[in-house]
Amino acid sequence: MQSYDKPNKNTVTAFTLVELLVVIAIIALLTSILMPSLSVARSYAREIVCRSNIRQLSLANIGYAMGNDDCYVPAASDMYLSNGGYHRWHGVRKDENELFDPSKGPLASFLNNGEVKECPQRAGFRKGDDWNTNYEQGCGGYGYNQTYIGSRIWQFGWSPQAFMKTSRITEVAKSAETIMFADCAMANKDSTGNSYIHEYSFAEPPFWLNNGKPATDWGYASPSIHFRHRYKANVSWVDGHVSSKNRAEYDGNNGYGIKSANFNIGWFEPLDNSLFDLK
């Protein structure tokens, strides 16, 4: 009868070097396959949170208007004054080098926790510098349609009256096609000539106004809509809905001599004021 040796209880089994290398190679392959998917999933999640944030801003502004004779919140009520950097739609401050305090802003009572939430996307904003470098810090990366909704520049031009008064709900002809807030930023240069982006409180239309009409012969204004969500920008409209927009082809320099497109800043189609205007 054939006999078999009993296994030695002290024998230790282990992977061979080849087996370890195979396992490591499989793990590396799976990681390379999954990481892009995880990155896209995180990007989608940040975009969804941003859409919620910007929708809250529109709803807060609608609530503000309903309690203020149908007039929307002023974008920057002191803009025309010599010390015009203390009051914004998102907060107030006592010194131009301070951060805006959102708890004292005009929309505070209409927002959760009384504050403007910051866009979760890693936009690369410069933080914590003085007014000359970062003059709008605190708006969360969102900009307001100041020219047509948050002021009456379209009616009175640049004047104290224009900034202290705003448009009314009934003056917006197409609420689903008029911008209220958008992902925004501004490309700028510091004292050493290095380019960077910072938060910016206003969604600027493509053209400045002259006597209430787009001054197309002046050339384009400085763009501020920031396409930071996989090359798209979130936009909330006057009726409260939110959508995503792709950047239009525009590669001009802004007022600081910077090509904003290098920072994914620009406008979406059409390249005119029609989606900002009340008409």
Are 251 and 188 in contact by the 8 Å Cβ rule? The answer is no
Query: Is 32 part of a structural domain of the chain?
Result: yes
Query: Is 214 part of a structural domain of the chain?
Result: yes
Q: Is 91 helix (H, G, I), strand (E, B) or coil?
A: strand
Are 84 and 77 in contact by the 8 Å Cβ rule? The answer is no
User: Domain residues for 31?
Assistant: 17-266
Q: Which of 183, 248, 175, 201 is nearest to 49 (CA)?
A: 183
Angstrom CA distances, 20 to 13, 16, 31, 243, stand at 13, 6, 16, 49
* E strand spans, 152-224: 179-183, 186-189, 195-198, 209-210, 213-214
Residue 197, strand partner residues: 187
Query: Is 5 part of a structural domain of the chain?
Result: no
Phi, psi of 93 (to 5 degrees): -150, 160
Query: Is 169 part of a structural domain of the chain?
Result: yes
User: What domain count does the chain have?
Assistant: 1
Q: Which tokens sit at 78?
A: 């002191």
Helices (H), the chain: 17-66, 153-156, 160-164
Q: Is 113 helix (H, G, I), strand (E, B) or coil?
A: helix
Tens-of-pLDDT digits for all 279 residues of the chain?
Answer: 455 555 555 655 666 777 777 778 777 777 677 666 556 667 778 889 999 999 999 999 999 999 999 999 999 999 888 677 899 999 999 888 888 888 889 999 999 888 888 999 988 898 877 777 778 888 999 999 999 999 999 999 999 999 999 999 999 999 999 999 999 999 999 888 899 999 999 999 999 999 999 999 999 999 999 999 989 999 999 999 999 999 999 999 999 999 999 999 999 999 999 999 999
Query: Is 147 part of a structural domain of the chain?
Result: yes
Give the separation between CA 246 and CA 213, rounded to whole angstroms: 26
The DSSP call for residue 159 is S
Query: Is 187 part of a structural domain of the chain?
Result: yes
